[in-house]
Structure 1
Amino acid sequence: MSAPSRFDRGLTDDLMSFLAAGPSPYHAVANAAERLEKAGFRQVSETDAWDAEASPVSAAGSGGRYVLRGGAIVAWYVPEGAAPHTPFRIVGAHTDSPNLRVKPLPDAGAHGWRQVAVEIYGGPLLNSWLDRDLGLAGRLTLRDGSTRLVNIDRPLLRVPQLAIHLDRSVSAEGLKLDKQRHLQPVWGLGREVRDGDLIAFLEEESGIGAGEVTGWDLMTHSVEPPAYLGRDRELVAGPRMDNLLSVHAGVSALAAVSQSADLPCIPVLAAFDHEENGSQSDTGADGPLLGGVLERSVFARGGSYEDRARAFAGTVCLSSDTGHAVHPNYAERHDPTHHPRVNGGPILKVNVNNRYATDGSGRAIFADACERANVPFQSFVSNNSMPCGTTIGPITAARHGIRTVDIGVAILSMHSVRELCGADDPYLLANAMTAFLEG
């Protein structure tokens, strides 16, 4: 019989649904927007004037608003009577995950096999994509400029691994994969490569007229659903936890605090695309999206540049991304005195070389939020002999001049097609975020 958890697993169940519904950044932000709509948020267009007179749903009045741009979403809640210089409390995250993405000329094949040409996005654990049943999802752009989400969530593609009989050295010397030659998935049989075949298939599957698709942003995903794991179901295995786990917690926290009329700050969720390849895009953290939305919110409420400066000076951002739990088989790869454990609560990430943005004052802010939420937290630093990763935290701090704290949830198998977290940690992270957004 399974041991009961100390925490409500309802939020973890909901996370699993969120992961399954987000095979691409475009699907993830559409799902986030749908959840925020149910909490009373309304979309505003970047091309509209943001004032009460110009738009029936504006950024000027109180209430919840959000902006969608590609695979990114920025959402915020303005409490009634908020002054233009009211500071923001931001939860930052990213919507993209390492994977295999379809090339501009997707139709390929050899020796009687039909294949799809793919490019490596980010830094995936390549071996984890072998012998997986893969679907295909993303965004199609039509002749009239409109876009359509597509999700073939069934076994469609597979990257077959070479049999051991043809590579006897693999067990002793390790698997060696050439990114160009060895990772092109198969999806059928045929003697000839037919240009336009994949897109024609997607048009038919999506009910789109033949020849209407003129652009695409497509990527593969494992069709195996998220699942509880272990004797006592203490763990969750699933795709894209890096970093939809943080996006889901942020959406949940923002929806929760939007039910309160008395807040000393303006809570914000900023979920960006393209973190896995440097964040330099119009939807990435190193782009102008967040700053533009925050400034327009200040000005829409009658604020001046001085109000904007005051608001930004008092703003704090939690940059939330997954981190490394101590690995039982590779404990020597971790710092010997910092061993974050799954189900131990969120981790506070520190790096004195500013790969993470946390400093002592930021630690105090996060510690206060965790204390108010009755949530334990852990500290993470990298082993001095190992290179340290980075997040949107330092980018956000430098680009916007706002205090930023790097946090997250400790997981195993980061950048695998299927990652592993503790079943209690999503609940703990969301509660800590809720307390932080309350100010």
Structure 2
Amino acid sequence: MYKKISKELLNFIEKSHSCFHAIEEIKEELNKNGFIELLESKSWNLIKGKKYYVTRNASSIIAFDIGENLDNYSFNMVASHSDSPTFKIKDNFEIEVSSKYIQLNTEKYGGMLCSTWFDRPLSVAGRVVIKENNKLVTKFVDVDRDLVLIPNVAIHMNRDANSGMKYNEQIDMLPLYGTSDNGKGNFLDVVSETINVKKEDIVSSDLFLYNRMQPSIWGSKEEFISSPKLDDLQCAFTSLKAFVEGHSKKSINVYCCFDNEEVGSGTKQGALSTFLVDVLSRVNEGLNKTKEDYYKALASSFMLSSDNAHAVHPNHPEKSDPTNRVYMNEGVVIKYNANQKYTSDAVSAALFKTYCKNADIPFQAYTNRSDMPGGSTLGNIATTHVSIKMVDIGLAQLAMHSSYETAGMKDTYYMYKVVKEFFNSHIEETGNGVLEIS
């Protein structure tokens, strides 16, 4: 069972070469399971017992499964993110070098381990906007072949290469695309041919590099998986699988996958936006519930903010906290931070531990070293608009923000199983700090 679900995960990642493609894969899975697509620009006619989803910017999605008995309903929510650190291709994308080479002009998206992008086959995926008569139409692009490469400088030309490097993104990280033809390349031709449109019809684009290395299952007992984009598509996939299989008659189950977490979430489609509160409010109104009903529902609601965590590194165990250490294949991680960069507290952790025990899966506690601040994630950002109980969870992995990351074979299954347990439940806050789970 561990290997089967991990293979499904890696297949999902292989089809998700950009955040737009990840959301398309999620939509396809929802469509297969009877979900109905809604548009933010149209009216919503909602029915109890039905399942729906809505996207924003084609890079974020919120789906919801409405229970049949909503007398004392609450929202069971899981949030993950669709984006990963990469390089975005700028407008006026071609640079000629010495009248011989063509490079693509790029800039960093998010905080990546730059060295992991060198000397490996890369390609380009994302979206373009084209003009069709009087309409602007979005089309997704995936140039599915080895297209570019970022070459290292030879050790003979940089004797300090193994003594620590500081990379200049405008100089060191530009990908080599091809040879010059009178000062020009043909990148736009390649993009337009990929989607079968005229290059003159392309108005604008959001295109990104991606690593072409195939995902792998490895280790003495095949206990590890490695792939691009495990942060955070491992959580996005496992929570999606649990969401489509789970159901609560007394709750509204909600699946969220937001874009732009890696750059702070401060976009119209990020966790800091009004996307979630807009959807929850419209669901409440679409079911003819009152504002009072909505506030009551939020009081009993719970969100799992799902984003991966740092496993103890075998070469550098000193980088981890002395006692709150997490390891691959040893269970779902509960993340804590006294300064609330993670939202877990005694109440939310107790709730999640209860689900883990009910699902018979292991869990671990994670904190950063006290002298080594970590990054924040979705939970504390989303709660600025929707104030609910929340816990930050994830799966242990190595080399986070590398172009090729590593995680545990078993943990994919562990996350799926506990999230499904959550989506099969109903939580009700009865007062005086008492929570009932049914």
Distance 1:101 1:388 in 2: 25
Distance 2:151 2:84 in 1: 22
Query: What residue number does 1:410 align with?
Result: 396
Deviating beyond 3 angstroms after TM superposition, the runs of 4 or more aligned structure 1 residues are: none
How many angstroms does 1:191 deviate by?
A: 5.1
Q: For 1:198-237, what aligned pairs fall within 5 Å after superposition?
A: 198-237=187-226
Query: What residue number does 1:243 align with?
Result: 232
| Alignment pair present for 1:386 and 2:372 | yes
Query: What residue number does 2:112 align with?
Result: 124
How many angstroms does 1:31 deviate by?
A: 0.1
Q: Select which of 125, 143, 154 maps to 2:145.
A: 154
Contact map agreement 2:260 2:270 (CA 8 A) in 1: yes
Q: Select which of 343, 348, 351 maps to 1:365.
A: 351
Q: Select which of 177, 194, 199 maps to 2:167.
A: 177
Contact map agreement 1:89 1:266 (CA 8 A) in 2: yes
Root-mean-square deviation over aligned CA pairs? 1.3
| Segment drifting more, 19-28 vs 141-150 | 141-150
How many angstroms does 1:153 deviate by?
A: 2.2
| Segment drifting more, 388-397 vs 361-370 | 388-397
Query: What residue number does 1:73 align with?
Result: 61
Distance 2:159 2:266 in 1: 42
| Alignment pair present for 1:102 and 2:89 | yes
Distance 1:301 1:82 in 2: 10
Assess, with a 3 A threshold, how the Cα gap between structure 1 residues 110 and 373 changes in structure 2: closer, same or farther. same
Query: What residue number does 2:308 align with?
Result: 322
Query: What residue number does 2:432 align with?
Result: none
Query: Helix, strand or coil for the counterpart of 1:106?
Result: strand
Query: What residue number does 1:353 align with?
Result: 339
How many angstroms does 1:404 deviate by?
A: 1.0
How many angstroms does 1:107 deviate by?
A: 1.3
State the one-letter code of the partner of 2:391: V
Contact map agreement 1:362 1:405 (CA 8 A) in 2: yes
How many angstroms does 1:420 deviate by?
A: 0.0
Contact map agreement 2:2 2:412 (CA 8 A) in 1: no
Distance 2:51 2:89 in 1: 36
1:80-105 deviation digits (Å, cap 9, x = unpaired): 2434x621010000000000110022
How many angstroms does 1:314 deviate by?
A: 1.3
Distance 2:225 2:302 in 1: 31
Q: Which structure 2 segments of 5+ residues have no match?
A: 426-438
State the one-letter code of the partner of 1:348: I
1:349-402 deviation digits (Å, cap 9, x = unpaired): 000100100000000110011011111000000001101211011112232111
Contact map agreement 1:238 1:420 (CA 8 A) in 2: yes
Q: Which structure 1 segments of 5+ residues have no match?
A: 1-6, 52-58
Distance 1:191 1:174 in 2: 36
How many angstroms does 1:265 deviate by?
A: 1.3
Query: What residue number does 1:4 align with?
Result: none
| Alignment pair present for 1:429 and 2:415 | yes
| Alignment pair present for 1:420 and 2:406 | yes
| Segment drifting more, 32-41 vs 7-16 | 7-16
TM-score, length basis structure 1? 0.93
Contact map agreement 1:325 1:412 (CA 8 A) in 2: yes
Query: Helix, strand or coil for the counterpart of 2:2?
Result: coil
| Alignment pair present for 1:186 and 2:176 | yes
Q: Select which of 90, 104, 108 maps to 2:77.
A: 90
How many angstroms does 1:253 deviate by?
A: 0.7
Distance 1:418 1:192 in 2: 36
Contact map agreement 1:142 1:212 (CA 8 A) in 2: yes
Query: What residue number does 2:261 align with?
Result: 275
| Segment drifting more, 37-46 vs 277-286 | 37-46
Distance 2:173 2:182 in 1: 20
Contact map agreement 1:107 1:115 (CA 8 A) in 2: yes
How many angstroms does 1:169 deviate by?
A: 1.7
Query: Helix, strand or coil for the counterpart of 2:53?
Result: strand
- Report how many residues are paired: 420
Assess, with a 3 A threshold, how the Cα gap between structure 1 residues 190 and 345 changes in structure 2: closer, same or farther. same
State the one-letter code of the partner of 2:44: W
Contact map agreement 1:50 1:60 (CA 8 A) in 2: no
State the one-letter code of the partner of 1:232: K
Contact map agreement 1:343 1:423 (CA 8 A) in 2: yes
How many angstroms does 1:419 deviate by?
A: 0.2
How many angstroms does 1:231 deviate by?
A: 2.0
1:107-159 deviation digits (Å, cap 9, x = unpaired): 11212111111110000100000111001000111112111111112110000
Q: Select which of 122, 126, 129 maps to 1:134.
A: 122
Distance 2:44 2:36 in 1: 13
State the one-letter code of the partner of 2:184: R
Contact map agreement 1:396 1:404 (CA 8 A) in 2: no
Query: Helix, strand or coil for the counterpart of 1:165?
Result: coil
Distance 2:267 2:383 in 1: 17
1:239-296 deviation digits (Å, cap 9, x = unpaired): 00110011001110111114xxx53311111100000000001110000111101110
Query: Helix, strand or coil for the counterpart of 2:288?
Result: coil
Distance 1:167 1:18 in 2: 39
Contact map agreement 2:102 2:184 (CA 8 A) in 1: no
Calculate percent identity across the aligned residue pairs: 31
Distance 1:60 1:145 in 2: 33
Contact map agreement 1:200 1:211 (CA 8 A) in 2: no
Contact map agreement 2:83 2:262 (CA 8 A) in 1: yes
Contact map agreement 2:227 2:405 (CA 8 A) in 1: yes
Query: What residue number does 1:63 align with?
Result: 50
